């Protein structure tokens, strides 16, 4: 196993600090979330409709803060080191399995089934930055869960395509409107139906994802029909060293 950082601007302390701060913020926000939910559910007495409305608003605001902390953490990790790549030999199947473990509870909560169709043939090892490719995989899975509905299914597959390895994420969610498809990789852009379904988002996930894949010599594409679903594909060269 070898490592080739492409530049040396990485400061591990910086992300570590963000991570500890996020932990502390989340602890306070967890307490608020659980208490506000007790009020909403009537566990601590009956509220007037007006009080209920205010508490619902406070709960929503708290949820937005929690979601923004998660986004901030993910972006701080990949952007904190100036996008330097720390490439090592990596097994893509293990990487997908590990990323999926993070979402077991999330998909369970949302009633969405996530299936990983593992290839029967042996896949070549890739020479990539595992943390960054994991971010890419997580971002695609997270989007698929966010923009799917309860009972929907997400299918992940890996396929050899000539000199490349192609990883796909197929969902049956809200899809991307045709007139917005050319813009979704733009920085800060979020499709209108995505904003309506999920108020929280920075519009940086797909932009960062595309950037990471292209820096690995691969490409990102998608096929989508509004209200039917989306399949995202990314490729990585099989021998990228």
Partner 1 sequence: MSKIIIVEDDTFLQGLASQKLSKEGFQVVAISDGNQAYETIVKEKPNLVLLDLMMPGVDGFQVLEKMNADSTVKGIPVIVFSNLSEDKDINRAKELGATEFMVKSNFTLDELVEKVKSVLK
Binding residues with partner 1: total (CB under 8 A): 29
**Is 55 near partner 1 (CB under 8 A)?**
no
* Residue of 56, 71, 79, 106 interacting with partner 1 (CB under 8 A): 106
User: How far, in Å, CA of 31 to CA of 41, rounded?
Assistant: 15
Q: How far is the CB of 179 from partner 1 (least distance, A)?
A: 33
Beta bridge partners of 114: 154
Q: Which two tokens stand for residue 122?
A: 């042996």
Does 34 sit near partner 1 (CB under 8 A)? yes
| C-beta of 39 vs 222, nearer to partner 1 | 39
Q: 65-72 — which CB contacts under 8 Å span 24+ positions?
A: 65/25, 65/29, 66/26, 66/29, 66/33, 67/200, 67/201, 68/200, 68/202, 69/22, 69/25, 69/26, 69/29, 71/200, 71/201, 71/202, 71/204, 71/205, 72/18, 72/22
109 makes contact with partner 1 (CB under 8 A): yes
| Min separation Cβ 90 and partner 1, Å | 13
Q: Taking CB under 8 A as the rule, does residue 157 contact partner 1?
A: no
Binding residues (CB under 8 A) for partner 1: these are 19, 22-23, 26-27, 29-31, 33-35, 37-38, 41, 66, 69-70, 73, 77, 98, 101-102, 104-106, 108-109, 131, 134
């Amino acid at each position: 196993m070898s490592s080739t950082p492409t530049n040396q601007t990485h400061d591990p302390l910086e992300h570590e600090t963000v991570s500890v701060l996020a932990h502390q913020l989340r602890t306070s926000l967890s307490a608020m979330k659980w208490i506000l939910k007790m009020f909403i559910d009537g566990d601590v007495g009956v509220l007037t409709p007006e009080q209920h409305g205010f508490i619902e608003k406070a709960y929503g605001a708290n949820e937005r803060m929690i979601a923004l902390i998660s986004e901030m953490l993910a972006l701080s990790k990949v952007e904190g080191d100036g996008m330097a790549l720390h490439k090592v030999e990596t097994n893509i199947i293990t990487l997908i399995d590990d990323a999926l473990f993070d979402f077991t509870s999330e998909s369970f909560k949302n009633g969405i089934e996530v299936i990983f169709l593992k290839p029967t043939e042996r896949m070549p090892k890739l020479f990539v930055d595992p943390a960054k490719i994991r971010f890419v995989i997580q971002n695609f899975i997270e989007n698929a869960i966010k923009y799917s509905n309860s009972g929907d299914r997400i299918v992940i597959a890996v396929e050899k395509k000539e000199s490349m390895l192609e990883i796909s994420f197929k969902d049956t969610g809200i899809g991307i409107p045709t007139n917005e498809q050319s813009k979704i990789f733009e920085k800060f852009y979020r499709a209108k139906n995505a904003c309506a379904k999920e108020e929280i988002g920075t519009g940086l996930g797909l932009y960062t994802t595309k950037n990471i894949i292209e820096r690995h010599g691969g490409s990102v594409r998608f096929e989508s029909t509004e209200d039917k679903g989306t399949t995202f594909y990314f490729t990585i060269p099989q021998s990228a060293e």
